[in-house]
Structure 1
Amino acid sequence: MTTQTAQTTTHLPQTIEPRNPGMDLDLSWVRSVQANTSAIERRAKTLPGRRSVKKDYQAAWLLRAIQCIDLTTLSGDDTSERVRRLCAKARTPLRADIAEALGVSGIQTGAICVYHDMIETAVDALAGSGIPVAAVSTGFPAGLSPFHLRIAEIEESVKAGAAEIDIVISRRHVLSGDWQALYDEMRAFRASCGDAHVKAILATGELGTLRNVARASLICMMAGADFIKTSTGKESVNATLPVSLVMIRAIRDYHERTGYRVGYKPAGGISKAKDALVYLALMKDELGDRWLQPDLFRFGASSLLNDIERQLEHHVTGAYSAGYRHALA
């Protein structure tokens, strides 16, 4: 189906796609979704060895990975100064000498992701950069606060200046197969976000099966999610390749049926440059080059940038440096 540009609304600066408006809940489609776990796991095992990029090509892919990072700090001891340092790193993620050697300029991360209390600090620190601020919401990470408070939290974060809201779904709806409740919840979250884009965190490590992951992914897209995201980063199991494959194929099916592109965000445990390359290759294989842009793909990460910068320094100098020379703060 051709994308209906007439439904375009306000977008993030880097977004060129009309937003996913969602659709009526189609339970027959949801119930028809299955997941062949053994086949998915076999496919996932082949991914790290099937796509290998070297030298200048690897450097180019790593630069793209930087542009797709949601640079994140979600700690109880976050301070305004820490957030400001992180924002400075988002503006200039590469040391000047590395960027000069690579012949690049203007590289920035995809977003900064913080708790609600740090939104105003981040918005101020990023003023004029075009980098959006994302806020975790709806009782992150468990999503068990009263529903009216979760709605209010979204509204307050949008009012404070967040351009993206990372919400957490109620896992119990998935585990009990109450798809109507999940759809209604996600629809309400989307409506509360207004023009802010909403990323639906599935907490896949707590959903039990890959079939549940596939069905929850589809429900959230039907309800209008702009992105679907694997994890809060607080679960015992976060982003994995089998889960990513399931979610990416759900995105592909949704696009084929509706014409709308939904973004994907793996989060939690992605800390090495080589892992970023695997995820980028997976996106290219399954969804194509269009999904290698920051408006449709993000890494939820805090330490990934550190390793990417080390790898890029090795590319230009031939030597590895200590990790502390590329500290985020």
Structure 2
Amino acid sequence: MEMNEGSGAVMRVVRAASDADVGLPRNPGMALDLGFLESMRSVNRSALERRVGTLIKRRSIKADNQAAWLLRSISLMDLTTLNSNDTDERVRRLCAKALNPLRRDLTEALGLGEVLIRPAAVCVYHPFVATAVEVVKGSGIHVAAVSTAFPHGLAPLSTRLAEIEASVSDGADEIDVVIPRGLVFGAKWRELYDEIRQMRAACGEAHLKVILGTGDLATLRNVTLASMVAMMAGADFIKTSTGKESVNATLPVGLAMVRAISAYHEQTGYLIGFKPAGGISTAKVSLDWLVLMKEELGRPWLEPELFRFGASSLLTDIERQLEHHISGRYSANHRHAMA
């Protein structure tokens, strides 16, 4: 498959990324429809894996087009730090990197001029929300907080809801929540639906990204059904992983989730975002995900309002690939410092 932009590829993708925030209507959710849920139970793993294999083999993105699509990947990132040793200063450095993700010599060599390429958001634990909000204020970069007893989601519901409200109060405009996986294994769809509805209400105007923890869910059927319940309950995004599972974002899982998004759109008319997270650390893998989104859901899902990467080390590899595109040489990772 060719993803060609023709001459001026880099600048066209840059301009599209900078004009991406068009204010799509939010998903209000719908009543829990167990009949509709039942219709989604049949998931053919081998067919999904064959489709993914075909997409990757058909990919052909090279030279200026590759540089352009890597810049698009940067604009779709939730630049993330979720470590036990996070500090306010570490978060400030992460935000500084978000404000200036590429070295000046790279932006000049790419001919970006005054056009800014920045990640869509920074994603942090609740205690660091206020710090992140202060640093990125006025930049257009969102602040996402992981809430609801991340990464396991096993605290009492009242505690999880209070954490959401606290993060919103501190200025987070996106909330990444995690579901208790046991509700999926027990097919407790009503309980899962009701919990997510309450999380959505606690978010207020902040967008809700629901993390399924797909590596823990065992089957693509569970992934599909959990995706659908989350969307019915009002999720603005569905997200694969916390990044803490033994298996995180994989393309077959992503394909199952984006097909659930497509089915929900056909049923309701609402566009739901998708966020793969965990293990997406190379430029090549980011391009594979962009191919998947473009082929399965179409051009609107190459914008930050509908697609994000949960990433920490991905930006470093993209910078290295862009420097190789310019100079023909790969640089060391330390030349592209993160936090």
Q: TM-score range by the shorter chain?
A: over 0.9
3-state SS of 2:244 partner: coil
The counterpart of 1:125, out of the listed 132, 135, 140, is 135
3-state SS of 1:21 partner: coil
Match status 1:78 vs 2:86: yes
Q: CA deviation at 1:314?
A: 0.6
Q: So what's the TM-score if we normalise by structure 1? A: 0.95
Report the equivalent of 1:184: 194
Q: CA deviation at 1:46?
A: 2.5
The counterpart of 2:24, out of the listed 8, 17, 24, is 17
Q: CA deviation at 1:45?
A: 2.3
* Aligned counterparts, 1:121-200, within 5 A: 121-200=131-210
Q: CA deviation at 1:68?
A: 0.3
CA distance in 1, matches of 2:135, 2:43: 44
CA distance in 2, matches of 1:213, 1:190: 20
Q: Percent identity between the aligned chains?
A: 64
8 Å CA contact retained: 1:175, 1:208: no
CA distance in 1, matches of 2:197, 2:64: 44
Query: Which amino acid is 2:105 matched to?
Result: D
CA distance in 2, matches of 1:15, 1:159: 25
The counterpart of 1:32, out of the listed 18, 39, 44, is 39
3-state SS of 1:81 partner: helix
Q: CA deviation at 1:15?
A: 4.8
The counterpart of 2:301, out of the listed 267, 291, 295, is 291
Match status 1:319 vs 2:326: no
List per-residue Cα deviations over 1:288-317 (Å, max 9, x = no partner).
Answer: 011000111000010000000000011111
Cα pair distance change 1:15/1:148, threshold 3 Å: farther
3-state SS of 1:328 partner: coil
CA distance in 2, matches of 1:285, 1:41: 15
CA distance in 2, matches of 1:79, 1:250: 38
3-state SS of 2:223 partner: helix
3-state SS of 1:238 partner: coil
Q: Which consecutive residues of structure 1, in runs of 5 or more, have no partner in the other structure?
A: 1-12
Q: CA deviation at 1:127?
A: 1.2
List per-residue Cα deviations over 1:69-125 (Å, max 9, x = no partner).
Answer: 000000111111111111011011111110111111311101000000000100011
CA distance in 2, matches of 1:49, 1:94: 30
Query: Which amino acid is 2:210 matched to?
Result: A
Count of residue correspondences? 317
CA distance in 2, matches of 1:196, 1:202: 19
CA distance in 2, matches of 1:323, 1:69: 19
The counterpart of 1:57, out of the listed 37, 51, 65, is 65
Report the equivalent of 2:107: 99
Report the equivalent of 1:209: 219
Query: Which amino acid is 1:220 matched to?
Result: A
The counterpart of 1:43, out of the listed 46, 51, 55, is 51
Runs of 4+ deviating beyond 3 Å: none
CA distance in 2, matches of 1:129, 1:162: 14
3-state SS of 2:119 partner: coil
Query: Which amino acid is 2:25 matched to?
Result: P
CA distance in 2, matches of 1:312, 1:17: 31
Report the equivalent of 1:6: none
Report the equivalent of 1:7: none
